[in-house]
């Protein structure tokens, strides 16, 4: 019977470890929203616009900065520096977020639309994170399909910098909402099933999921509900 007791003990330790990672991830995710809000507030107040110059060059520079942060965070994910870099990244993303917020606030119902996007994003996150946590199903099979979808959406967004087709822009936003909503399910599932054991990496993944869902959802809401009087 000793091997059976050892198996039960090992399973219990794994479950405790997975719950710890999930708890720390949610805590750091909540903390990471603070620099985002600060960055967004500064950006809105100062009229910050990263894409004021050439859209293509700005897009490439943005990707370079973002992937630089990704590399630094992943390289230092087991130290306090990784957390500091993560918070620095979320501040940067807050500055980037300020542009779409400025556009939204140009509408008479801008505040309402931002609140709707926030509420919608929260509902999506809580629902899908809850499903992944309660069912404890392994959704890792979704990974390849979601990655391909993300790359296609990124290439379409890059192409639309030149094409400037409103219908394509809305299609991309709708696709991004669906892709990154599914990524929430996938990323939380990886934590719950033990596929992700580092809470810094897990926080980065979930932060990007939430950020992309919010911005794309806000874009759609503005397109269909924006009121300039």
Interval 186-202: pLDDT, tens: 999 999 998 889 999 99
* Residues 63, 207, 175, 172, CA torsion sign: negative
CA end-to-end span of the chain, whole Å?
A: 75
* Contact between residue 35 and residue 90 where contact means Cβ atoms under 8 Å apart: yes
The more confident residue out of 47 and 85 is 85
Contact partners, residue 182, CB within 8 Å, separation at least 6:
128, 142, 146
pLDDT classification of 3: cutoffs 50, 70, 90:
low
pTM to 2 decimal places: 0.91
Closest CA to 29 of 77, 87, 70: 87
Structure tokens at 56: 């293509």
| Cα of 179 vs its chain's centroid, Å | 11
What's the pLDDT score for residue 10? Answer: 60
What's the pLDDT score for residue 163? Answer: 86
Structure tokens at 68: 């630089």
**Domain extents for the chain?**
2-225
Which range is least confidently modeled, 3-17, 157-171, 181-195? 3-17
What's the pLDDT score for residue 54? Answer: 74
Indicate the length of the chain as a whole number. Answer: 229
Interval 79-107: pLDDT, tens: 999 999 999 999 999 999 999 999 999 99
145/124 Cα distance (integer angstroms): 20
* Contact between residue 64 and residue 72 where contact means Cβ atoms under 8 Å apart: no
pLDDT, averaged across the chain? 90
pLDDT classification of 9: cutoffs 50, 70, 90:
low
Please give the average per-residue pLDDT across 61-75, as a whole number. 94
pLDDT classification of 28: cutoffs 50, 70, 90:
very high
């Amino acid at each position: 019977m000793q091997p059976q007791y050892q198996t039960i003990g090992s399973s219990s330790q794994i479950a405790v470890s997975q719950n710890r990672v999930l708890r720390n991830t949610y805590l750091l995710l909540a903390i990471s929203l603070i620099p985002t809000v600060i960055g967004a507030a500064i950006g809105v107040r100062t009229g910050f616009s990263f894409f004021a110059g050439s859209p293509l060059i700005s897009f490439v520079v943005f990707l370079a900065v973002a992937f630089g942060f990704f590399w630094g965070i992943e390289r230092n994910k087991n130290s306090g520096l990784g957390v500091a870099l993560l918070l620095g990244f979320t501040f940067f993303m807050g500055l980037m977020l300020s542009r779409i917020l400025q556009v939204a606030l140009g509408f008479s119902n801008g505040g309402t639309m931002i609140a709707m996007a926030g509420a919608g994003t929260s509902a999506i996150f809580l629902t899908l994170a809850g499903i992944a946590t309660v069912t404890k199903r392994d959704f890792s099979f979704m990974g390849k399909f979601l990655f391909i979808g993300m790359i296609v959406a990124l290439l379409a967004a890059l192409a639309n910098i030149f094409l400037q087709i409103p219908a394509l822009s809305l299609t991309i936003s709708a696709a991004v909402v669906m892709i990154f909503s599914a990524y929430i399910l996938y990323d939380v599932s990886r934590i719950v099933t033990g596929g992700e054991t580092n809470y810094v990496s897990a926080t980065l993944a979930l932060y990007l999921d939430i950020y992309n869902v919010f911005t794309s959802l806000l874009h759609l809401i503005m397109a269909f509900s924006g009121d300039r009087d």
